[in-house]
A = this chain, B = another copy of it.
Amino acid sequence: MISFELTILGTSSALPTSKRYPTAHVLNVRERFFLIDCGEGTQIQLRKYGAKYSRINHIFISHLHGDHYYGLIGLLSSYTLLERKNDLHIYAHSELAEILKKQLDLLKTEMKYQIVWHPLNFKRTQTILENNIVKVVSFPLKHRIPCCGFLFTEKPGPLNLNREKIKEHKIPIRELKNIQEGNDFTTPEGMVIKNEELTQGHKKQRSYAYCTDTSFLPHLKDIISDVDLLYHEATYDKRLEKRAGETFHSTAMQAAQLAKLCNAGQLIIGHFSARYKNVSVLLDEAREIFENTIAAEEGMAISIPQVKRGQ
């Protein structure tokens, strides 16, 4: 199966615990790896959970609270030691390059790769990356400082062939790739067979939305509607809704409400306050509203099958 798999590297909120690391996720789309946030210890977690981190070419930093980026400089330093050569694209607040400047200056003489900085827009939804693998859209969240969520949607792969028609028209194997790319076929006699006759459309495109740190924002349902996999922070339980509001975080109940509103396939909650030794209270609370919820754990991997739910 062609992969679309999320691996959770850290599940803590600002204060890590002896078991929970700060936030970082890695999304594998067809063996390309996208790193989302990079809390302290991310490079070690990447090694621990077998993510091929030399294949990460794009890093997305939601906001500049330390638990979401303090691990970045260590990763960049290790890439330097490993003599990485590929460009590394970092999507983040424009201040991040400035914050890390002195530390990067110390690495620069030995760096063989380029960092390409992409400043995020915290005012409106934007497509920040689009290639033949994935489209990534950033959208504003509501936190104490500027913060973005990200929606990853895989790009259509090759068209599905209509095997019967291929057989009927005796199309040679060497032509199939052209047809899967959307081209018509011309027979040796000069007759054109339209692509629509020979193919049956694409597999549906899988998607993943990442929403942390943020207050509950019901309007996000329009941006991430029908997302296959929604990660939403659930720093607190519903008894602490007031505190969640004051600190611009969400409760597990609110995470589930958004999952329901946007008709998500599955919800993962995370970014747990250190006060919860056991997160079952948060999981139970979310499942009351949105049943298909799981609680993030370090090392957890969630695959989205290629055929979309309900098909």
B contact residues around A44 at 8 Å (CB): 16, 18, 21, 40-41
Contact B102 A98 (CB under 8 A): yes
Chain A 31-80 residues near chain B, CB threshold 8 A: 40-41, 43-44, 47-48, 64, 66-67, 70-71, 73-74, 77-78
Q: Pick from B40, B64, B81, B103: contact of A41, CB below 8 A.
A: B40
Copies in the complex: 2
CB-nearest residue of chain B relative to A22? B74
A144 to chain B, nearest CB (A): 11
Q: How far is the CA of A99 from the CA of B99 in the complex (A)?
A: 9
Q: Does A176 contact B (CB under 8 A)?
A: no
CB-nearest residue of chain B relative to A70? B74
Q: Pick from B18, B41, B66: contact of A77, CB below 8 A.
A: B66
B contact residues around A43 at 8 Å (CB): 16, 40
Q: Does A15 contact B (CB under 8 A)?
A: yes
Contact B18 A48 (CB under 8 A): yes
CB-nearest residue of chain B relative to A48? B18
Q: Does A300 contact B (CB under 8 A)?
A: no
Contact B40 A71 (CB under 8 A): yes
| Residue from the set A18, A44, A64, A103 with the largest chain B CB neighbour count within 10 Å | A44
Chain A 102-126 residues near chain B, CB threshold 8 A: 102-103, 106-107
B contact residues around A94 at 8 Å (CB): none
Chain A 149-167 residues near chain B, CB threshold 8 A: none
* Given A40-B74, A71-B40, A81:B47 Cβ within 8 A: no
A84 to chain B, nearest CB (A): 12
Q: How far is the CA of A98 from the CA of B82 in the complex (A)?
A: 27
A199 to chain B, nearest CB (A): 44
B contact residues around A74 at 8 Å (CB): 22, 40, 66, 70
Contact A81 B16 (CB under 8 A): no
B contact residues around A77 at 8 Å (CB): 14, 66-67, 70
Q: How far is the CA of A81 from the CA of B64 in the complex (A)?
A: 15
23 A-B residue pairings within 8 Å (CB atoms): A14-B77, A14-B78, A14-B81, A15-B82, A16-B43, A16-B47, A16-B78, A18-B44, A18-B47, A21-B44, A40-B40, A40-B41, A40-B44, A40-B71, A41-B44, A66-B77, A66-B103, A66-B106, A67-B77, A70-B70, A70-B73, A70-B74, A98-B102
Taking A15-B78, A18-B47 as given, write out 9 further A-B residue pairs in contact, using a Cβ cutoff of 8 Å, ordered by the A residue number. Answer: A15-B82, A16-B44, A18-B48, A22-B74, A40-B40, A40-B41, A70-B73, A70-B74, A70-B77
Closest 4 CB pairs of A and B: A18-B47, A41-B41, A40-B74, A18-B48
